[in-house]
Amino acid sequence: QSVLTQPPSVSAAPGQKVTISCSGSSSNIGNNYVSWFQQLPGTAPKLLIYENNKRPSGIPDRFSGFKSGTSATLGITGLQTGDEADYYCGTWDGSHMVFGGGTKLTVL
Amino acid sequence: EVQLLESGGGLIQPGGSLRLSCAASGFTFNNYAMSWVRRAPGKGLEWVSGIVGSGTRTFNADSVKGRFTISRDNSKETLHLQMNSLRSEDTAIYYCARGMGQERFVELDYWGQGTLVTVSS
């Protein structure tokens, strides 16, 4: 059971937009930056968003991040079949890093 | 080009020990914090341990405290994870990952391909 709560799954059609929520508390999201990671099947995780809303070079602007209070949200627009993956939020909590439980995105 | 290459995984009996290594290249190793992250079968990502760039401070998840030790050899640009008293629930793919700075553990911008650890009798 993670201290960061994500929906287990979300789905949307190609071309549509989807959002994935990440809910925490003042000990983690409320006072720390949030990152988002994508893990495609059989591959290593990839950093999508850092410091709540910044994209590393090479990450398309279809991916966006937002944080408010003790919650964060990942947004993906123009969905593609290649976006089907597990998505994780992550942040610092006291003395260690924590991940959310993960959200499986299905592009119908 | 940044590269991280893990090694040392394998099949080990419960209660046994294993040492994972991660060889880094393509960047100034001692300028970056490093972490170990694992994914157990059917479960999500779990951050295991982290070490600052200088190697002077380490952090561990509660699930591995007292059993796992992270270390680094900056002269050899290598990260290690010594795992003792292994349990079946430690079975997972273990990834090493680079933080974006000396003490950054949330912004993991480069990852290795992972090494599989299986704890079973």
Instruction: Report residue A104's pLDDT band, with 50, 70 and 90 as the boundaries.
Output: very high
Which of A38, A39, A47, A105 is the best substitution to test chain B (most B C-beta atoms within 10 A)? A47
A99 vs B61: CB contact, 8 Å cut-off?
A: no
Kindly tell me if the per-residue pLDDT of A38 is higher than 80: yes
Q: Report the alpha-carbon distance of residue B51 to residue A56 in Å, rounded.
A: 22
Q: Which residues contact B28 (CB under 8 A, 6 or more apart)?
A: none
Q: Which residues pair with residue A5 across a beta bridge?
A: A23
**CA distances for B83 relative to A25, B12, B105, angstroms:** 31, 11, 20
Phi, psi of B64 (to 5 degrees): -120, 0
Instruction: Test B44 with A37 for CB contact under 8 angstroms.
Output: no
The nearest CA of chain B is from the CA of A45 a distance in Å of 7
Q: Which residues of B1-19 are buried (b: 16+ CB within 10 A; e: fewer)?
A: eeebebebbeebeeeeebe
Region at B98 (left for phi over 0; alpha for psi -120 to 50; beta for the rest): beta
Encode pLDDT of B2-11 as tens digits.
999 999 999 9
> Tens of pLDDT along B30-81?
999 999 999 999 999 999 999 999 999 999 999 999 999 999 999 999 999 9
Whether A101 and B44 lie within 8 Å, measured CB to CB: yes
DSSP string across B38-104: EE-TTS-EEEEEEE-TTSS-EEE-GGGTTTEEEEEETTTTEEEEEE-S--GGG-EEEEEEEESSTT-
Question: What per-residue confidence (pLDDT) applies to B59?
Answer: 97
Q: Is the pLDDT of residue B115 over 90?
A: yes
Say if residue A1's pLDDT is above 90. Answer: no
The torsion defined by the Cα of A73, A79, A80 and A82, in degrees rounded to 10, comes to: 10
- Grade residue B16 by pLDDT with cuts at 50, 70 and 90: very high
Instruction: Write out pLDDT tens, residues A52-100.
Output: 999 999 999 999 999 999 999 999 999 999 999 999 999 999 999 999 9
